[in-house]
Amino acid sequence: MNPKEKSILMLLGGMWHDFDGFANAMKPVFAAKGYRTDATYDLDVLTRLDRTNCDLVLSYTCLFKHRDEYDDSGPEKLNDEQVHGLRRWVRNGGGLLAAHAATCIADSGPALGTLLGGVFISHPEPFTFNIYPLSGDHPITADIQAFEVHDEFYIQKYSPSVEIHMAAIYQDVAYPMVWSRREGKGRVAHVAPGHFPEVWNHAAYQRLLLQTAGWLISA
């Protein structure tokens, strides 16, 4: 690997999402900016992050309990060893980008929700909405204007300690769409939109993920 090249580990798996589609859409976006991206469904990789050259974990996962009425065979949760491995790696200076449904943590435990800065509660049927930057001063949202998506609108329980960078409005209430926090020597960020290919291919969304990744890695 080029010594100047930054490495992203894209963690995939769970239910109800096109994980391969997201990976295939975003790999060339990151590659164009000099990132090497490897994707995996092996959740145990979180237990050995300190033995990799990974600079950033990008989690595009959706962990839920299996239900009889659904054909869902993905993993239900991260186990304690996986959560502790991820948290230890971030605290030692790693970067964690939780994209879209990564805040769906099922029974992974409160430690994962604390690390992410929040957890998924619910979403209405997909609809079209605008995502507004709260400030252009942060590197995550620099030069990003409000943009429109047709997507799942995530309603979440989040820590009051997170720094909110973008928000959207549903039924006259504003909800965070992008937030960040620090964990020890490392950094964590969450970008809530990202269910459909039309969102992945949106220029503003791609810029948002790239700038978020850049901020996370610059810790």
* 205: enclosing H helix or E strand: helix 203-217
Half-sphere exposure of 29 (CA within 13 A, CB side): 18
Does residue 23 fall inside a structural domain? yes
Does residue 195 fall inside a structural domain? yes
What is residue 1's predicted lDDT score, i.e. its pLDDT? 43
Please give the angle made by the CA atoms of 35, 17 and 25, to the nearest 5 degrees: 30
Number of domains in the chain: 1
Q: How far apart are the first and last CA of the chain?
A: 21
Does residue 160 fall inside a structural domain? yes
What is residue 107's predicted lDDT score, i.e. its pLDDT? 85
Does residue 131 fall inside a structural domain? yes
**For residue 188, what is the domain's CATH number?**
3.40.50.880
What is residue 5's predicted lDDT score, i.e. its pLDDT? 80
What is residue 9's predicted lDDT score, i.e. its pLDDT? 98
Q: Letter for the amino acid at 131?
A: I
Residue 61 CB contacts under 8 Å (≥ 6 apart), including other chains: 11, 12, 13, 14, 19, 101, 102, 104
| Separation CA 191–CA 205 (nearest Å) | 9
| Separation CA 141–CA 137 (nearest Å) | 7
| Separation CA 37–CA 117 (nearest Å) | 24
Does residue 48 fall inside a structural domain? yes
Walk along the chain (219 residues) in steps of 10 and give the mean pLDDT of each run: 76 92 98 96 95 95 73 78 97 97 92 97 97 92 97 97 97 98 98 98 98 93
Residue 142 CA from chain centroid, whole number: 19
What is residue 65's predicted lDDT score, i.e. its pLDDT? 72
Q: Letter for the amino acid at 159?
A: S
Q: Are 63 and 71 in contact (CB under 8 A)?
A: no
Does residue 87 fall inside a structural domain? yes
Residue 90 structural domain: 6-217
Q: Are 103 and 97 in contact (CB under 8 A)?
A: no
Does residue 1 fall inside a structural domain? no
Which 3 state secondary structure label does DSSP give 82?
A: helix
| Separation CA 18–CA 100 (nearest Å) | 12
Q: Are strands 35-40 and 6-14 parallel, antiparallel or unpaired?
A: parallel
What is residue 69's predicted lDDT score, i.e. its pLDDT? 62
Does residue 211 fall inside a structural domain? yes
| Separation CA 4–CA 199 (nearest Å) | 29
Q: Which of 7, 14, 23, 185 is nearest to 88 (CA)?
A: 185
Q: Which of 76, 122, 81, 115 is nearest to 97 (CA)?
A: 115
What is residue 68's predicted lDDT score, i.e. its pLDDT? 61
pTM value is 0.94
